[in-house]
Amino acid sequence: MTASFSRRQDGNMSLCFGDTRDALENRGKFLTSLGIDYRNLITAKQVHGKNVEYVEQENKGSGALDYESSVMDTDGFITDQPGVPLAVLTADCLSVFIYDPKRPAIAILHAGWRGTEQNISQEGLRAMQNKFGSQPKDLLVGFGPSIRSCCFQVEDGFKSNFAFGLAKKGGRVFMDIALINQRQLVECGVKAENIFDPKLCTFSDDNFFSFRKEAQAAGRLISVIMLK
């Protein structure tokens, strides 16, 4: 199994956001270094929802060379087939990598605050349970970089949407997307010790793109996972 995320120095990986002129070349260089053929990549037209799709060999290349061929209205993928690279693109949102070593099977999820509010992590687990018979206690989970609670200020109204993961500092409210997803996963039976969080903040760390900081100029980093 291969899993990784890119950094700003790897270039913009999006075909529709930021400066896209070198995006295919950037994808090629980064993915080749991981032993992945960028032409086989599967990406989505992400909509900040909770839809998780099962993909297989015949889906390879969806969104690899142009945005229009991306899988519609999807924010996560699962597969149990080797050589099928799954990817999400982010610039503050959280990417969630899931690996079932017993099946084996994998998932990649795009979790912004809207997807988190809809429990996309739990949807990903449910999809793996239904399709592969995966057991949450067996799963290994990794998080990519995201905007962290140090920088993600939200409106007070978020308190009615999340029971945890919000903290008041200096009269302002800050949200911790990673913590909320971690809690949601643990609630479904994933072992806390099996969740790896690198605690990298896309807003404060210049190694990453940040939509909140750069707005429309922001490129996207790629999070990719593939069974060998």
Q: Are 173 and 155 in contact (CB under 8 A)?
A: yes
Between 157 and 147, name the one with better pLDDT: 147
Per-residue pLDDT tens digits for 129-152: 999 999 999 999 999 999 999 999
Range of the domain at 20: 2-226
C-alpha dihedral (184, 220, 88, 200), degrees to nearest 10: -40
Per-residue pLDDT tens digits for 185-206: 999 999 999 999 999 999 999 9
pLDDT tops 70 at residue 159: no
Between 78 and 157, name the one with better pLDDT: 78
Q: Are 38 and 221 in contact (CB under 8 A)?
A: no
Burial 138-163 (b: 16+ CB within 10 A, else e): ebbbbbbbbbbbebbebeeeeeeebe
The count of domains in the chain is 1
Query: Can you read off the two tokens belonging to residue 33?
Result: 């270094």
Mean residue pLDDT of the chain comes to 96
Instruction: Work out the pLDDT band at 226, boundaries 50, 70, 90.
Output: very high
Q: Report the pLDDT averaged over residues 70-94.
A: 98
CATH code assigned at 94: 3.60.140.10
Q: Report the pLDDT averaged over residues 8-18.
A: 97
Per-residue pLDDT tens digits for 19-45: 999 999 999 999 999 999 999 999 999
Q: Return the pLDDT at 97.
A: 98
Question: pTM, whole model, 2 decimals?
Answer: 0.96
Per-residue pLDDT tens digits for 90-142: 999 999 999 999 999 999 999 999 999 999 999 999 999 999 999 999 999 99
Query: Can you read off the two tokens belonging to residue 60?
Result: 């390879």
Q: Return the pLDDT at 167.
A: 84
Which of 208, 216, 51, 225 lies closest to 123 in space, CA to CA? 51
pLDDT tops 80 at residue 9: yes
- How does strand 2-5 pair with strand 140-143? unpaired
